[in-house]
Amino acid sequence: MEEFTLNPGFLPMLAALLVLALPRSVRSPIIVAAALGAFWLLLEPEFGSTAASNLMGLQVVTLELDELNRIFGIPLLTALVALGIYSGARRNRYEDAAILLLAGSAVSALFVGDLIISFVGTLSVAGLAAAWVVFASPLEGASRAGARLLIWHGLEGLLLLVGVAFHLSSGASATQVERLDITTIGGAFIFAALMIRIGAPMAHVWLKDAISHASPTGAAAISSFTTMLGVYALARCFPSEPLLIWIGAAMVLLGAIYVAAEDDLRRAAAYGLTMQTGLCVALVGIGTPLALAAAEANAFATILAFLALQLTLGGILERNGSACVSQLPGIGRTMPISSLFLIGCGLAVSATPGLALFAAHAASLEAAKQWDLRWLWVIIWAAPAMLFTAFLLRPALAAYTPTREVSPIREAPFSMVLGSALALFLCLSVGLAPRWLFDLMPSEISFEPFVIDRVGPQFQLLGAAGLAFLALRVARVTPVERQVRLLDIDALYRGPLADAGRWAGVLALRVYGAWQSWTRRVSAAGGRSLEMLARACDRPYAQAGTVAATFLCVGALLLMMFLVK
């Protein structure tokens, strides 16, 4: 009897069907139980084992365990546990099912071993589930944002299918996910699809659009289960690709510009996630063992840090009605626990020593310490200062600004506070003991982040950034915090390009209508001519010129008879 090994991601996908029929009181425990069950499936078998079966004549590898997918799977399932606890504060069975489907398909994509069916299929299901999460949001404009996200992931799925088709037509194996060549047609299409998944420049807008319109729980789920799946695929299929260095650096710079100016902290967190994703992409492009280990460590820590940030911002949005910096004055008094969590999250995402991202950031600097990559080293070195200013100083100054209004304490619901606290505790535990994180890496590396040569400069960088921002704030050089709508590339295709498309559509309809009218008139005139000819044939002697026509016909017939002879 053939042994069947279950992919860890299948369990949350099965639980997604259950929560549609279960009452509110048991849906949160079901989500947590599904995540813990997936953990058990992940940790029970030995790594290196595979499970394959035949489906319609094709071999499908439903499970392949190794160190690379383990390092991505553990934080994703950990995030699902925190989301399960956090989700107990609201009543939305459809969003619960969508989050479970998103998490399950993302985890399933990590652990499958064939390129043709399992990987592309689970990646496409993850895209559909992400759109469902946005559709389930009660916020204004969520339906339009979900439709836009569906278009982005539809384009991604189309590029994946075309790339896989070309890849297999070249004689490559369908049961191995291995390094691909970007110069081939199949590799180029798959690479383009993964650029959409990670939110590369020009395609980065889907992430901030989806997160800003999703619910508090949905935004944290999209932040955790989307872009890092693309980083995993790049590390699996395109390691040491030089083009990734430039793409990753562009993502970091682009995210930093909007992080510094964005008033909505949930949008700013999406741009901050773009920065960290770009850092992982650039490290995958470097491709050395230390760079790949740093990319994986950054992905691990980024999932946890930005999960904690989105969960905290979601609690503020739930009670305050807004997560904009301009709307935060006085929140330190009305939401004291969430305000403290927000400070902790700002420290976590800015790679403060002792929290999750510091060890990964130190490894990133070490991996980029090459003469030809000194410009990338400067970008990586300066990125935490921008995040520190955006997610700690600006919110903290706003939250603890004294106001004359006396408002009662309206803290976030207990389950939201508990989920945020769990995520922040995980950031702290990973940051204080990062050795076990590096022990999970596919390649053995000896790296000690907590040495004075790394800890000291990081504190100096963050301190200098804080003092510079405060000095500019006292000098009234920094802009006043107010609600602004920043224009991004989506303003082009949702504005002038959308207007041009509507104008072109109206023009095409009018041209089509004019064409139909002209053909209708021509066909009517031709019909009338044929009718007159038919009537003339019915009455051959009633028309003038009949004798001449008859003579010509008889003459033509005689001429043909003569020529035939």
Phi, psi of 470 (to 5 degrees): -65, -40
Which neighbouring-strand residues pair with 50?
64
Give me the pLDDT at residue 126, please: 93
Residue 538 has pLDDT above 70, yes or no: no
d(CA 87, CA 22): 14
Asked if residues 274 and 204 have their Cβ atoms less than 8 Å apart, the reply is: yes
Closest CA to 283 of 238, 347, 348: 238
Give me the pLDDT at residue 2, please: 42
Closest CA to 49 of 13, 107, 106, 8: 8
Residue 60 has pLDDT above 50, yes or no: yes
Residue 378 has pLDDT above 90, yes or no: yes
Say which residue, 462 or 167, is predicted with more confidence.
Answer: 462
Residue 1 has pLDDT above 50, yes or no: no
Residue 531 has pLDDT above 60, yes or no: yes
Say which residue, 294 or 46, is predicted with more confidence.
Answer: 294
Average pLDDT over residues 430-459: 82
Q: Any residues with CB less than 8 A from the CB of 337 and at least 6 apart, and which?
A: 411, 412, 417
Q: What is the pLDDT of residues 251-276, one digit of tens each?
A: 999 999 999 889 999 999 999 999 99
Give me the pLDDT at residue 3, please: 47
Asked if residues 217 and 90 have their Cβ atoms less than 8 Å apart, the reply is: yes
Q: Where are the domains of the chain?
A: 1-238, 241-485
**Cα angle for residues 247, 249, 252 (degrees, 5° grid):** 110
d(CA 110, CA 119): 8
Closest CA to 232 of 319, 292, 145: 292
Average pLDDT over residues 193-204: 93
Residue 209 has pLDDT above 80, yes or no: yes
Q: What is the pLDDT of residues 213-266, one digit of tens each?
A: 999 999 999 999 999 999 999 998 899 899 999 999 999 999 999 998 899 999
Q: What is the DSSP string of 34-103?
A: HHHHHHHHHHSSPTT-EEEEEETTEEEEEEE--HHHHHHHHHHHHHHHHHHHHGGGS--HHHHHHHHHHH
Token digits of residue 201: 């420049």
Estimate the crossing angle of helix 10-19 against helix 24-43, to 10 degrees: 170
Token digits of residue 226: 């989307």
Token digits of residue 68: 């690379």
Residue 62 has pLDDT above 70, yes or no: no
Residue 352 has pLDDT above 80, yes or no: yes
Token digits of residue 406: 């006396």
Average pLDDT over residues 123-144: 92
Q: What is the pLDDT of residues 496-530, one digit of tens each?
A: 766 777 788 788 888 888 888 888 888 888 878 77
- The CA radius of gyration of the chain, in Å to the nearest whole number, is 31
Asked if residues 247 and 276 have their Cβ atoms less than 8 Å apart, the reply is: no
pLDDT band at 562 (very low <50, low <70, confident <90, very high): confident
Q: What's this model's pTM, rounded to 2 decimal places?
A: 0.86
Residues 153, 159, 161, 164, CA torsion sign: negative
Q: List the alpha helices (DSSP H) in 199-288.
A: 205-213, 216-225, 227-237, 242-261, 265-286
